[in-house]
Amino acid sequence: MKETHTIPDIYTRSFMVDWDQTSPSGTLSITGLLNFIQRIAGEHANLCHFGFYDMSRSGQAWVLTRLKLCFTSMPKWNEKISISTWIENMGGSISVRNLSFEHNGNTFAQISTVWVCLSIDKRIPEAIKAPCPEYLIHPEKKLDITTAGRVKIPTETKLLREHKVSFSDIDAMGHVNNIKYTQWILDSIPYKDALSITSGEIEVNFLSELHIDDVVEIRCGNVETDGEATFIIQKKGSEKPAFLSHYTPIK
């Protein structure tokens, strides 16, 4: 008897770009785009029975560790977008999930994400306990960009500003929400520079958790003449980064 596939292997949803998801230019903001990543990945994981609450009952949680985003010509407020996501790889404690964003039939963003299954009590990686049917995994369905990799730490950096982690930075896991790091960086660079980021490639590493009342340093290093730059966020007094992000403009 043919197996019945009750869970969509490729999950697709459409949305209108809301006002609070736009940047001052009136187009979808980078943080708005990142919010969609968490939302769609979470919805598909729930359908696959390894979403937030399913994982919590098993004493586990998904933690985003790496992300690579390539985006061009962001859609405007009130325009319709379509988002698709699927699992490229799942093994042990690691899952690679891809996302593709379309507007008017054209792909304007592709995202590779790498997630680690973490023991909630031990705070260490462990093999996911929930089953994952083979038909949900598509190793052959790759993006035009490579899987998110490791960002190189700059040898020299300059301090942009300090920030004390506040209530609005914390998510349901009790640590700083993934999107907040990028928002902190955008709030730390000149307004015109942030406004000019309308396309490019961003590679991100989440290295350690930050919590309420932590004081962090937001730093920048390796700024090139074409706008390429690496950003570092680290707990004040620590030499180890909690977050690394490398931005490359699309030429």
pLDDT of 74-86, one tens digit each?
A: 999 999 999 999 9
pLDDT confidence tier of residue 3, bands split at 50, 70 and 90: very low
User: Looking up tokens 């960002």, which residue turns up?
Assistant: 151
Q: What is the mean pLDDT of the chain?
A: 93
- How far apart CA 72 and CA 126 sit, in angstroms, is 36
pLDDT at 69: 97
User: Percentage of the chain with pLDDT > 70?
Assistant: 96
Contact 205, 191 (CB under 8 A): no
Residues 2 and 124 placed together within one structural domain of the fold? yes
CA distance 199 to 180: 20
Task: Please report the DSSP string for 118-165 in residue order.
Answer: EETTT-SB----S---GGGB-TT---SSPPP-PPPPPSS-EEEEEEE-
Number of domains the chain contains: 2
Range of the domain at 230: 150-251
236, 162 contact by CB (below 8 A): yes
The CATH number that applies at residue 177 is 3.10.129.10
pLDDT, residue 225, reads 59
Q: Is residue 89 located within the same domain as residue 76?
A: yes
Tell whether the model's pLDDT for residue 5 goes beyond 80.
no
